[in-house]
Homo-oligomer: A and B are copies of this chain.
Amino acid sequence: MNAETSLTLGDPPRLHDADALIADMGARARLAAKALAVATTAEKAKALRAAAAELRMRGAAILDANARDMEAGREGGLSSAMLDRLRLDENRLAASADAVEAVAALPDPVGAEIDRTVRPNGMTLARVRVPLGVVGIIYESRPNVTADAAALGLMSGNAVILRGGSEAVHSNRAIHAALAAGLAQTGLSADAVQLVPTQDRAAVGALLRAQGLIDIIIPRGGKGLVARVQDEARVPVLAHLDGINHLYIDRAADPARAVDLAVNAKMRRTGVCGATETILIDRAYRAPLVIVDALIAAGCEVRGDAAIAALSPHVTPASATDWDCEYLDAIVSIAAVDGIEGALSHIDTHSSRHTDAIVTEDVATAERFLAEVDSAIVMHNASTQFADGGEFGLGAEIGIATGRLHARGPVALEGLTTYKWLVRGTGQARP
């Protein structure tokens, strides 16, 4: 079927397969995106504020829907961590509505001029930001992604197609209904934010193959989800698979700062993608045991190479796989390295190119680290836990990308745009 078929029928057509469903949703999203691309900042902000108000007004219905998901999750044997991600309460729902309103207050990237030049023949060239078009979000567990992703997509002028996890199906539908009700109060099409209506896994495959219909796919969830998306997608994907992040403590590190940053980078929250997983300690650093002891005292299991294991009986010997492991837990691997060279070499081999940091008071060593480490985020004397769009001042983030194309690191409104070249002439013909 094609878009026109679905658009000329009063009722939704009977869709017999996932490809037809996604083709229909994609065509409607494309039409909505055309209108969104030229919507004013005020129109988009108004729609988001209306959506936030609906989220608040429909709080009881959303929490009821969430209670059904939680019950099914408990019966289905979801882990307590999964259940915690799934769970909504009044505070979480209020935070979600606040977040939607906060996005409405962010600077609109659409129409911003990246650069402007005047050619010798008098033509003016300007590169101006425009929306990507149609953004597909595939996510699991956390129902607040439904509102977050819709808000970021809409504010950057994109139509959004959301595909949440089956464990959150009722929550997602209730949140989506609130967003749609908010849009309906403004001039924007309800097709600007669509939720895939089926939990059939074939719909995910159809989204991933929807070249020309969907401009970019952003997966949000665990490694299994991201790996499947990256592996199967024919549409470009913005994502990171791992956050195997390193903190290198140089010989010239300030000892108090080194302890503070090591404990914070590893232990502040162990389940976030910006958490440090491996600490590298310069063999010439004078107080490595203090680092190890502070981590153990903070409740962290330390797995060390031979040199580190020799420091303390509380260190477990690391195996070869530890250096490529994203624990997302209170576990750290620690290796002794031969100065900056050793650190660079280890990071080059094992980093997932998300976030790596150095602790040193030697500015030349720090600048070398910043220049040579090829990761999306490289830090000097700061905790890797800052790897986050909000902390970077982007207002919000749709994810963190470790690929090399388009956007890298925290992706927010700007990362959901592309640009076009506007040429203003006065009749120039090319000689």
CA–CA, A409 to B422, complex, Å?
10
A346 to chain B, nearest CB (A): 15
A423 within 8 A of B: yes
A254 within 8 A of B: yes
Which B residues lie within 8 Å of A429 (CB)? Answer: 260-261, 263-265, 268, 383, 385
A132 within 8 A of B: yes
CA–CA, A123 to B410, complex, Å?
16
Q: Are B430 and A393 in contact (CB under 8 A)?
A: no
Number of chain A residues close to chain B: CB under 8 A: 61
A215 in contact with B405 given A119-B393, A130-B374 (CB within 8 Å): yes
A419 within 8 A of B: yes
Q: Are A386 and B264 in contact (CB under 8 A)?
A: no
Q: Are A418 and B404 in contact (CB under 8 A)?
A: yes
Which B residues lie within 8 Å of A418 (CB)? Answer: 404-405, 408
Which B residues lie within 8 Å of A263 (CB)? Answer: 429
Q: Are A215 and B425 in contact (CB under 8 A)?
A: no
Cβ-defined partner of A382 (8 Å) among B268, B420, B427: B427
- Count this chain's copies in the assembly: 2
Considering the complex, give the chain B residue whose CB is closest to the CB of A375: B420
A260, A265, A379, A428: which has the most chain B beta carbons within 10 Å? A428
A115 to chain B, nearest CB (A): 10
Q: State the A residues within 8 Å of B (CB).
A: 34, 37-38, 117, 119, 123, 125, 130, 132-133, 215-216, 236, 254, 257, 260-261, 263-265, 268, 348, 357, 366, 370-372, 374-383, 385-386, 391-393, 404-406, 408-410, 418-430
A424 in contact with B236 given A125-B392, A404-B418, A430-B391 (CB within 8 Å): no
Which B residues lie within 8 Å of A130 (CB)? Answer: 374
Q: Are A428 and B132 in contact (CB under 8 A)?
A: no
A119 in contact with B380 given A268-B429, A427-B261 (CB within 8 Å): no
CA–CA, A236 to B380, complex, Å?
31
CA–CA, A379 to B383, complex, Å?
47
CA–CA, A378 to B410, complex, Å?
30
CA–CA, A419 to B415, complex, Å?
12
Which B residues lie within 8 Å of A370 (CB)? Answer: 422, 424
Which B residues lie within 8 Å of A380 (CB)? Answer: 422-425
A402 to chain B, nearest CB (A): 11
Q: Are B254 and A405 in contact (CB under 8 A)?
A: no
A420 in contact with B236 given A123-B386, A125-B393, A430-B386 (CB within 8 Å): no
A381 in contact with B427 given A393-B117, A405-B418, A408-B419 (CB within 8 Å): yes
Show 18 A/B contacts (Cβ-Cβ < 8 Å), sorted by A. Answer: A38-B371, A125-B393, A215-B405, A216-B405, A257-B427, A260-B429, A263-B429, A264-B430, A357-B423, A366-B424, A377-B421, A378-B420, A379-B422, A382-B423, A392-B421, A405-B418, A409-B420, A409-B421
